[in-house]
Amino acid sequence: ATKLSEGPFIETETYPAPKEMEMSAAVPFLRYPQVLKGWVGEEKGFDPLGVTDALPVYWVREAELKHGRVCMLATVGWIATDLGMRFPGDQFQSVQTTLEAHDKMVEAGLMAPFLGAVGTFELYSLWLFFKGWEMEVNRDAGDFFLGKQFLPKEPAKEKDMRLKELENGRLAMFAFSGIVTQAAMTGQAWPFM
Protein backbone atom coordinates (compact mmCIF):
# COMPACT_ATOMS: atom_id res chain seq x y z
CA ALA A 1 0.00 0.00 0.00
CA THR A 2 1.41 3.31 -1.03
CA LYS A 3 0.12 6.78 -0.39
CA LEU A 4 1.16 10.16 -1.57
CA SER A 5 2.75 12.23 1.16
CA GLU A 6 3.22 15.95 1.03
CA GLY A 7 5.86 16.78 -1.54
CA PRO A 8 7.14 14.67 -4.41
CA PHE A 9 7.97 11.63 -2.23
CA ILE A 10 6.02 8.40 -2.30
CA GLU A 11 5.86 6.70 1.07
CA THR A 12 6.03 2.90 1.23
CA GLU A 13 6.79 0.49 4.03
CA THR A 14 10.34 0.15 2.73
CA TYR A 15 10.92 3.85 2.10
CA PRO A 16 9.01 6.02 4.59
CA ALA A 17 8.56 9.68 3.71
CA PRO A 18 11.30 11.90 5.10
CA LYS A 19 10.39 13.65 8.32
CA GLU A 20 10.26 17.40 8.26
CA MET A 21 13.43 18.86 9.72
CA GLU A 22 12.90 20.53 13.09
CA MET A 23 14.08 24.13 12.97
CA SER A 24 15.65 26.19 15.75
CA ALA A 25 13.36 28.70 17.46
CA ALA A 26 16.29 31.08 18.09
CA VAL A 27 17.62 30.99 14.53
CA PRO A 28 14.65 29.83 12.40
CA PHE A 29 16.63 29.18 9.21
CA LEU A 30 18.93 26.65 10.96
CA ARG A 31 18.13 23.11 12.06
CA TYR A 32 17.38 22.39 15.71
CA PRO A 33 20.42 20.91 17.49
CA GLN A 34 19.01 17.64 18.88
CA VAL A 35 21.80 17.26 21.46
CA LEU A 36 20.37 20.23 23.40
CA LYS A 37 17.35 18.17 24.49
CA GLY A 38 17.35 17.92 28.28
CA TRP A 39 19.51 21.03 28.78
CA VAL A 40 18.33 24.43 29.99
CA GLY A 41 17.40 26.48 26.92
CA GLU A 42 16.54 23.46 24.80
CA GLU A 43 13.30 25.09 23.65
CA LYS A 44 15.29 27.92 22.04
CA GLY A 45 17.66 25.64 20.15
CA PHE A 46 20.44 28.24 20.11
CA ASP A 47 23.62 26.89 18.54
CA PRO A 48 24.10 28.92 15.35
CA LEU A 49 27.68 27.73 14.77
CA GLY A 50 26.91 24.05 15.38
CA VAL A 51 29.49 23.81 18.15
CA THR A 52 27.56 21.03 19.91
CA ASP A 53 27.99 18.86 16.81
CA ALA A 54 31.72 18.75 17.56
CA LEU A 55 31.91 19.12 21.37
CA PRO A 56 29.88 17.70 24.26
CA VAL A 57 27.13 20.03 25.49
CA TYR A 58 28.51 19.79 29.04
CA TRP A 59 31.80 21.38 27.89
CA VAL A 60 30.12 24.03 25.78
CA ARG A 61 27.65 24.97 28.51
CA GLU A 62 30.44 25.18 31.10
CA ALA A 63 32.38 27.61 28.91
CA GLU A 64 29.29 29.62 27.99
CA LEU A 65 28.22 30.08 31.60
CA LYS A 66 31.72 30.99 32.77
CA HIS A 67 32.26 33.54 30.00
CA GLY A 68 28.76 34.94 30.44
CA ARG A 69 29.22 35.42 34.20
CA VAL A 70 32.62 37.05 33.74
CA CYS A 71 31.21 39.40 31.09
CA MET A 72 28.22 40.34 33.25
CA LEU A 73 30.61 41.36 36.04
CA ALA A 74 33.04 43.01 33.62
CA THR A 75 30.31 45.09 31.97
CA VAL A 76 29.07 46.43 35.30
CA GLY A 77 32.63 46.96 36.52
CA TRP A 78 33.67 48.82 33.37
CA ILE A 79 30.70 51.16 33.51
CA ALA A 80 31.10 51.75 37.26
CA THR A 81 34.79 52.59 36.87
CA ASP A 82 34.13 54.93 33.96
CA LEU A 83 31.44 56.67 36.03
CA GLY A 84 34.01 57.41 38.76
CA MET A 85 33.83 54.56 41.28
CA ARG A 86 37.28 53.66 42.63
CA PHE A 87 38.82 51.53 45.35
CA PRO A 88 40.41 53.57 48.13
CA GLY A 89 44.08 54.35 47.53
CA ASP A 90 46.13 56.78 45.51
CA GLN A 91 47.09 54.25 42.81
CA PHE A 92 43.38 53.71 42.03
CA GLN A 93 42.43 57.38 42.08
CA SER A 94 44.86 58.33 39.30
CA VAL A 95 43.08 56.14 36.72
CA GLN A 96 41.07 58.28 34.29
CA THR A 97 39.32 55.55 32.27
CA THR A 98 38.86 51.82 32.57
CA LEU A 99 40.86 51.32 29.38
CA GLU A 100 44.01 52.70 31.03
CA ALA A 101 43.39 50.86 34.33
CA HIS A 102 45.25 47.72 33.18
CA ASP A 103 48.48 49.58 32.45
CA LYS A 104 48.26 51.56 35.71
CA MET A 105 47.72 48.37 37.74
CA VAL A 106 50.70 46.67 36.04
CA GLU A 107 52.84 49.71 36.90
CA ALA A 108 51.63 49.55 40.53
CA GLY A 109 52.46 45.81 40.69
CA LEU A 110 48.89 44.75 41.44
CA MET A 111 48.27 42.48 38.45
CA ALA A 112 50.39 39.52 39.67
CA PRO A 113 48.36 38.96 42.89
CA PHE A 114 45.16 39.48 40.92
CA LEU A 115 46.17 36.89 38.31
CA GLY A 116 47.24 34.54 41.11
CA ALA A 117 43.76 34.74 42.65
CA VAL A 118 42.11 34.18 39.27
CA GLY A 119 44.46 31.26 38.57
CA THR A 120 43.56 29.63 41.90
CA PHE A 121 39.86 29.86 41.11
CA GLU A 122 40.49 28.51 37.59
CA LEU A 123 42.33 25.47 38.99
CA TYR A 124 39.41 24.79 41.33
CA SER A 125 36.91 25.17 38.48
CA LEU A 126 38.98 22.87 36.25
CA TRP A 127 39.05 20.22 38.99
CA LEU A 128 35.27 20.54 39.42
CA PHE A 129 34.76 20.40 35.66
CA PHE A 130 36.57 17.08 35.30
CA LYS A 131 34.94 15.59 38.40
CA GLY A 132 31.52 16.57 37.06
CA TRP A 133 32.34 15.30 33.57
CA GLU A 134 33.46 11.94 34.98
CA MET A 135 30.29 11.86 37.16
CA GLU A 136 32.36 11.62 40.36
CA VAL A 137 30.63 14.76 41.66
CA ASN A 138 26.92 15.40 41.18
CA ARG A 139 27.29 18.71 39.37
CA ASP A 140 25.58 20.60 36.57
CA ALA A 141 27.72 22.52 34.10
CA GLY A 142 28.60 25.88 35.61
CA ASP A 143 27.75 24.84 39.17
CA PHE A 144 30.40 25.95 41.68
CA PHE A 145 28.22 25.14 44.71
CA LEU A 146 27.72 28.83 45.45
CA GLY A 147 24.39 30.65 45.55
CA LYS A 148 22.07 27.67 45.00
CA GLN A 149 20.05 28.77 48.02
CA PHE A 150 18.87 31.77 45.99
CA LEU A 151 17.32 29.63 43.24
CA PRO A 152 13.54 29.05 43.36
CA LYS A 153 12.52 25.71 44.87
CA GLU A 154 9.99 24.88 42.14
CA PRO A 155 11.64 23.08 39.18
CA ALA A 156 9.89 25.15 36.49
CA LYS A 157 10.89 28.45 38.09
CA GLU A 158 14.45 27.21 38.68
CA LYS A 159 14.75 26.26 35.00
CA ASP A 160 13.41 29.69 34.03
CA MET A 161 15.99 31.40 36.28
CA ARG A 162 18.81 29.32 34.76
CA LEU A 163 17.60 30.25 31.27
CA LYS A 164 17.60 33.93 32.22
CA GLU A 165 21.19 33.63 33.46
CA LEU A 166 22.23 31.97 30.21
CA GLU A 167 20.55 34.57 28.01
CA ASN A 168 21.80 37.52 30.07
CA GLY A 169 25.30 36.06 29.90
CA ARG A 170 25.06 35.85 26.11
CA LEU A 171 23.94 39.47 25.98
CA ALA A 172 26.76 40.53 28.33
CA MET A 173 29.36 38.88 26.09
CA PHE A 174 28.21 41.04 23.19
CA ALA A 175 27.87 44.12 25.42
CA PHE A 176 31.37 43.82 26.84
CA SER A 177 32.99 43.31 23.46
CA GLY A 178 31.11 46.39 22.20
CA ILE A 179 32.15 48.46 25.21
CA VAL A 180 35.83 47.56 24.80
CA THR A 181 35.70 48.30 21.07
CA GLN A 182 34.02 51.68 21.63
CA ALA A 183 36.48 52.62 24.37
CA ALA A 184 39.49 51.73 22.21
CA MET A 185 38.10 53.54 19.15
CA THR A 186 36.98 56.74 20.89
CA GLY A 187 39.51 56.91 23.73
CA GLN A 188 36.71 58.18 25.98
CA ALA A 189 34.94 56.89 29.07
CA TRP A 190 31.50 55.31 29.00
CA PRO A 191 29.01 56.36 27.43
CA PHE A 192 31.64 57.33 24.83
CA MET A 193 30.17 60.74 23.93
Tens of pLDDT along 48-70? 999 999 999 999 999 999 999 99
Q: Is the pTM of this model over 0.95?
A: no
Instruction: Give 128-157 pLDDT, tens digit per residue.
Output: 888 887 877 788 888 888 877 888 999 999
Q: Is the pLDDT of residue 73 over 90?
A: yes
**Residue 161's pLDDT band (cuts 50, 70, 90):** very high
3-state secondary structure the chain: CCEECCCCCEECCCCCCCCCCCECCCCCCCECCHHHCCCCCCCCCCCCCCHHHCCCHHHHHHHHHHHHHHHHHHHHHHHHHHCCCCCCCHHHHCCCCHHHHHHHHHHHCCHHHHHHHHHHHHHHHHHHHHHHHCCCCCCCCCCCCCCHHHCCCCHHHHHHHHHHHHHHHHHHHHHHHHHHHHHHHHCCCCCCC
Write the CB contacts of 45 (distance below 8 Å, at least 6 apart in sequence).
23, 24, 25, 26, 27, 32, 33, 36
**Residue 4's pLDDT band (cuts 50, 70, 90):** very low
Instruction: Give 90-122 pLDDT, tens digit per residue.
Output: 888 888 888 888 888 888 898 999 999 999 999
**Domains and their CATH numbers in the chain:** 54-186 (1.10.3460.10)
